[in-house]
Structure 1
Amino acid sequence: MTSLTHLTNMLNQNKITRRKFITGASALGLSVAVSPFLFPGKARAAVPKKGGRLILGATGGSTTDSMNPATLTSNMNQNLNWQIRNNLVEIDHNFKPIPELAESWGSSADAKVWTFKLRKGVEFHNGKTLTSEDVLFSINHHLGEKSQSGAKGILKSIETIKADGKNEVVFKLSGGSADFPFLLGDYHLSICPAGTSGQEWEKGIGTGGYVLENWEPGVRSFTTRNPNYWKEGRAHFDEVETLSIVDTSARTNALKTGQINYMDRVELKTVHLMKRMSGINVTATTGTAHYTIPMLVDKKPYNDNNVRMALKLAVDREELLRQILRGYGALGNDHPIAPVNQYYARDLEQRKHDPDKAKFHMKKAGMLDHVFNLHAADAAFAGAVDAAILIKEQAKKAGININVVREPDDGYWSNVWMKKEWCMCYWGGRPVEDMMFSVAYAKGAPWNDTHWENERFNKILVDARAELDTNKRRQMYHDMQEICKDDSGTIVPMYNQMVEGSSDKLAHGPISGHMALDGMRTAERWWFK
């Protein structure tokens, strides 16, 4: 059987055209866009060099972090995860699924049965050869009854997973899923050796481009290049050191003085100064990332939609975009689907700051005298505390009283998020609508951070997943965005660009807007000049 590897080699040797390459890939079941690094010519003009130590300064690290894929939450351990592990599917910079540990895939006509063929000869860091047994174990790890995995929600449609030999895995779904390959690109679903448990997760055994040598949760990780990495043209550094640097000024100074080579979340108040710094490049990438302010709708007074609507109307999004993001983003509309997503509802009326309507709804709820505690820390996102204070002042115009509770950065994601009744939050977003809704808005999803349930929404979610007609799916996702906007417990004030800084000694290809840190794959995709 012709493989993607064979087609790639034929293309790079100029034995077939790009059109024939795409036709051949489609015949393998890959109705997807393929990374430009597979193609000769201009897309490969910059030839990567091997060597050097990349030092990353990342946010969000916590001493409670773990390398159990089910529990990954911070930029630090998400990035480390893809240094040391791979998925069946990779999401490229065009938000498309491309083969990773799966060499190819295909589905039944109704998209209920999906078959993935694995690459042969791939080895884990401990020398074990990758087989279908490892894939079954890794996916089932997120599906157990007691699982609290952030990916559990997107995998609910899986009825059975079985191996068809050592190099083929078959997924049978409860209903059709046109986007199923996208789901397997979720960062939680990296493939680990069968049987991994307990403290073995922290060893970070994977098939990735780097081997984990040292891991101090919330502090530092250190990896070295995997000499047997199966993926050509990736993982160029000899070593990668990832540091948790929560304070923005500390990250900036570390980059400025050469202590690190790359930082996420540039301070937007001073980004204009960083752009003038010698030896530093600043990138602003548009993707699916967005800031949210979730409230637990199963707790009073947030169980009253009048309260939720009042708080949504009390937020001046334009001022937040101007003051907090300094224009590096776009207005949010109280749903999580970004303007770059395929089915973004562009015609939904933009929610605006309306103190009079906000006061009307709060008065109707009988809560004008209530003091709302808004929990915030810059671990949520750079400027989260300032944003909370600004919202407090905005709400005063509607007679709404907000008390900003400053929380410690360390442990924010384990002690505040999904624990406190109202807090600041961010989401990296997802490449397709089904993933975003299933992870954070579906009934019973472990990361449904408002505990919101809407019967009509949940029905459409299942129906849209199985709908193969593009126009019908567009209307379904439009309706879901509208329901979120008007009923959910999530305020989505703005979509943020990912603004990051790096040494000008680094080189790279197209930068992904899929997630921060070049789709969380800086270590694999970048190199020193």
Structure 2
Amino acid sequence: MTENKNGMTRRTFVKGALAAGVTAAVPAPGLLKSVFASGPSKGGALKLGLAGGSTTDSLDPSNFSGVFDQMTTMGLYRNPLLELDKNGELQPELVKEWHAEPGAKVWHFKLRNDVEFHNGKTMDAEDAIFSINHHRGEGNKSQIAAVVKPVKEILKTGKFEFKVILEDPNADFPYILSSTRMPCVPAGTTDFEDGMGTGGYILKEWEPGVRAFGERNPNYFKADRAWFDSIEIITMADDTARTTALKTGQVDIINRPDRKTARLLGRMKGIQVINTPGGLTYTFPMRKDVKPYDNPDFRKAVKYSVDREALVKTILQGYGVPGNDYPVPAYVKYAATSIPQRQYDPDKVKFHLKKSGLQDEVVRLHVADMVYNGCVDTAQLWKEHATKAGMKMEVVKEANDGYWAKVWRVKPFCASFWYARPTVDWILSMTYVSDASANESVWKVPAFDKLVKEARAELNTDKRRQMYYELQKTLHDDGSVVIPMIANIVDAASDKIGYNPVAGNVELDGLRACERWWFKA
């Protein structure tokens, strides 16, 4: 069994350089030789069996929701402007240089001049500006609309250069350009479903929620990436079907193997399990605008009703840690790790239920197998914990297909998950400020929004740290989300697959397995 233990470290990008202006010009990605094999080699037809696909999948970046959608950004069919490496630090991608003017309200970006889209058009500043603006504007439904809302103006300063003017200082702004939801597409694109991009593979066939097939881009701008001749991605929602397909050689890579059997799987001849400490955050949002979750004491009762240690042991099989009802993993800079860990406490459940006056209220938890491996089992165990604590709970098992469109952000209490974002501001701005399009718990608190904005603009490290502590403490104490556990990233592959140390921010090597991995010679 191969277990990659390379966890993420704190990023070092800012390092107090704001007052003098921030500059970045670093080596191109992918130069590190593999420690697992003799080295990459081109060739072979890769097949992946993935959970997380749906017939509602779209290649319009403003509509991305599932694993496949976002994977298309990360060197598969398209590329983001900047790359996030395995340590959570920024590296050049389509942008080769970037710097901030003193105060970090104006950021300058310089693009490569040798990148072509699959149709032969040279990628330039107009394409980059269009791709950012695709997530901006009043009423934009993109999940990162709130993150780019502070952008005041984007100006072309040369054929391959542009600058971004912000409403307020933001030391972390370049990280947004590494988002899985912000690929660079040709300026003026109206039909995104052909997958047009600059990525290592050209999309040839695609049936949403079923299958996608692409062939290597012969003009890819990275000589040390995109090793396979072709890539086929098959949606496989069923855990057993995915595992069987890997065991029998029908596919070469799967995501989300059953953690209950992962160690046994890794002992099989020809199979490797890749276990990477990371920030896969399982969330259970309670819509704050719907009864009974508008009651703060009822929300606290729900938070105390789950045995987190038991879930980590039973559901994650030890591949993770208990969550503490704030969404920032411990490795992210400014994570509020000093907040005491919330424990399962039946007495406090009873106390807050009585205080809420809602002792007879039934909690209905909506879940589906496709949300994450073990999601329905999580709900059933939670029901046992809650029942013992005197809380009435029902588990509602929903259909896998269409879950993100019909259940998430629709039902009052449901299951969700988030991969780690590299900064606290990004995490909070994407899902917890009032106007965030991905505000799954309908957490709308003006004072919270104000402090997020102030923390983003604060250049004093100590003051910023305290602000972020207060924000995370607020979510821990009063927020409308339960975060019972944070999981390691666990994938599985044929032992014929080679790779360098794996990123732990998102599954499948930061969703870049198609670009970074290869068949061993």
TM-score band by shorter chain is over 0.9
Does the 8 A contact of 1:37 with 1:44 survive in 2? no
- For each residue in 1:335-376, what CA deviation from the matched residue of structure 2 results, as whole angstroms up to 9, or x when unmatched? 100012121112111000111111111111111111111101
| Number of the residue aligned with 1:87 | 80
Pairing partner for 2:105 from 112, 137, 156 = 112
- For each residue in 1:218-249, what CA deviation from the matched residue of structure 2 results, as whole angstroms up to 9, or x when unmatched? 00100110000011200010000111111111
| Number of the residue aligned with 1:411 | 402
Supply the AA of the counterpart residue of 1:91: L
- SS of the counterpart of 2:83? strand
| Number of the residue aligned with 2:63 | 71
Pairing partner for 1:53 from 45, 57, 65 = 45
- SS of the counterpart of 2:278? coil
- TM-aligned CA distance change 1:399 to 1:33, over 3 Å: farther
- TM-aligned CA distance change 1:28 to 1:314, over 3 Å: closer
- SS of the counterpart of 2:212? strand
The residue correspondences of 1:76-475 to structure 2 (distance < 5 A) are 76-82=68-74, 83-197=76-190, 200-475=191-466
Q: Displacement, 1:77?
A: 2.1
Q: Displacement, 1:212?
A: 0.5
Does the 8 A contact of 1:376 with 1:385 survive in 2? yes
Measured in 2, the distance between the counterparts of 1:103 and 1:45 equals 29
Does the 8 A contact of 2:25 with 2:98 survive in 1? no
Measured in 2, the distance between the counterparts of 1:54 and 1:289 equals 25
Q: Displacement, 1:29?
A: 5.5
Unaligned runs of 5+ in 1: 1-26
Does the 8 A contact of 1:151 with 1:439 survive in 2? yes
| Number of the residue aligned with 1:14 | none
- For each residue in 1:507-526, what CA deviation from the matched residue of structure 2 results, as whole angstroms up to 9, or x when unmatched? 01110112111100001000
Q: Percent identity?
A: 46
Supply the AA of the counterpart residue of 1:52: G
- SS of the counterpart of 1:346? coil
Q: Displacement, 1:32?
A: 7.7
- For each residue in 1:431-458, what CA deviation from the matched residue of structure 2 results, as whole angstroms up to 9, or x when unmatched? 1111111111111100010110223321
Unaligned runs of 5+ in 2: 1-19
Measured in 2, the distance between the counterparts of 1:234 and 1:315 equals 44
Does the 8 A contact of 2:36 with 2:498 survive in 1? no
- TM-aligned CA distance change 1:442 to 1:232, over 3 Å: same
Does the 8 A contact of 1:51 with 1:528 survive in 2? yes
- For each residue in 1:84-128, what CA deviation from the matched residue of structure 2 results, as whole angstroms up to 9, or x when unmatched? 111111111110111111010000110000010011021100111
Supply the AA of the counterpart residue of 2:184: I
Does the 8 A contact of 1:79 with 1:517 survive in 2? no
Measured in 1, the distance between the counterparts of 2:467 and 2:188 equals 40
Q: Which moved more, 1:407-416 or 1:470-479?
A: 470-479
Measured in 2, the distance between the counterparts of 1:361 and 1:513 equals 37
Supply the AA of the counterpart residue of 2:57: D
Measured in 1, the distance between the counterparts of 2:477 and 2:83 equals 34
Q: Displacement, 1:47?
A: 2.5
Supply the AA of the counterpart residue of 1:526: W
Measured in 1, the distance between the counterparts of 2:324 and 2:21 equals 39
Measured in 2, the distance between the counterparts of 1:262 and 1:33 equals 31
RMSD of aligned alpha carbons: 1.7
Measured in 1, the distance between the counterparts of 2:43 and 2:130 equals 34
Measured in 2, the distance between the counterparts of 1:193 and 1:212 equals 15
Q: Which moved more, 1:360-369 or 1:253-262?
A: 360-369
Q: Which has the higher contact order (CA 8 A, sep 6+)?
A: 2
| TM-score w.r.t. length of structure 2 | 0.93
Q: Displacement, 1:495?
A: 0.3
- TM-aligned CA distance change 1:267 to 1:472, over 3 Å: same
1:525 has 2:516 as partner: yes
Measured in 2, the distance between the counterparts of 1:398 and 1:528 equals 51
- For each residue in 1:417-438, what CA deviation from the matched residue of structure 2 results, as whole angstroms up to 9, or x when unmatched? 0010000111112111111111
Measured in 1, the distance between the counterparts of 2:216 and 2:22 equals 32
Measured in 2, the distance between the counterparts of 1:333 and 1:289 equals 13
Q: Displacement, 1:471?
A: 2.2
- TM-aligned CA distance change 1:33 to 1:358, over 3 Å: farther
- SS of the counterpart of 2:363? strand
Q: Displacement, 1:72?
A: 1.2
Q: Displacement, 1:80?
A: 2.7
Supply the AA of the counterpart residue of 1:519: G
Measured in 2, the distance between the counterparts of 1:77 and 1:190 equals 11
Q: Displacement, 1:483?
A: 0.7
Does the 8 A contact of 1:37 with 1:43 survive in 2? no
- For each residue in 1:368-403, what CA deviation from the matched residue of structure 2 results, as whole angstroms up to 9, or x when unmatched? 111111101011111110101111111112211111
- TM-aligned CA distance change 1:151 to 1:495, over 3 Å: same
Measured in 1, the distance between the counterparts of 2:93 and 2:302 equals 43
- For each residue in 1:459-489, what CA deviation from the matched residue of structure 2 results, as whole angstroms up to 9, or x when unmatched? 2211111222222222221111101101111
- For each residue in 1:159-197, what CA deviation from the matched residue of structure 2 results, as whole angstroms up to 9, or x when unmatched? 001111211111000111111111111111111011111
Q: Displacement, 1:33?
A: 7.0
Q: Which moved more, 1:224-233 or 1:338-347?
A: 338-347
Supply the AA of the counterpart residue of 1:481: Q
Supply the AA of the counterpart residue of 1:75: V
| TM-score w.r.t. length of structure 1 | 0.92
Q: Displacement, 1:42?
A: 7.8
Supply the AA of the counterpart residue of 1:61: G
Measured in 1, the distance between the counterparts of 2:352 and 2:22 equals 52
Does the 8 A contact of 1:294 with 1:449 survive in 2? yes
Q: Displacement, 1:416?
A: 0.4
Measured in 2, the distance between the counterparts of 1:371 and 1:322 equals 27
Supply the AA of the counterpart residue of 1:410: D
Measured in 1, the distance between the counterparts of 2:38 and 2:301 equals 52
Measured in 1, the distance between the counterparts of 2:111 and 2:36 equals 26
Question: Of Structure 1 and Structure 2, which has the larger fraction of its residues in helix?
Answer: 1
- For each residue in 1:298-352, what CA deviation from the matched residue of structure 2 results, as whole angstroms up to 9, or x when unmatched? 0111111111111001111011111111110011000100012121112111000
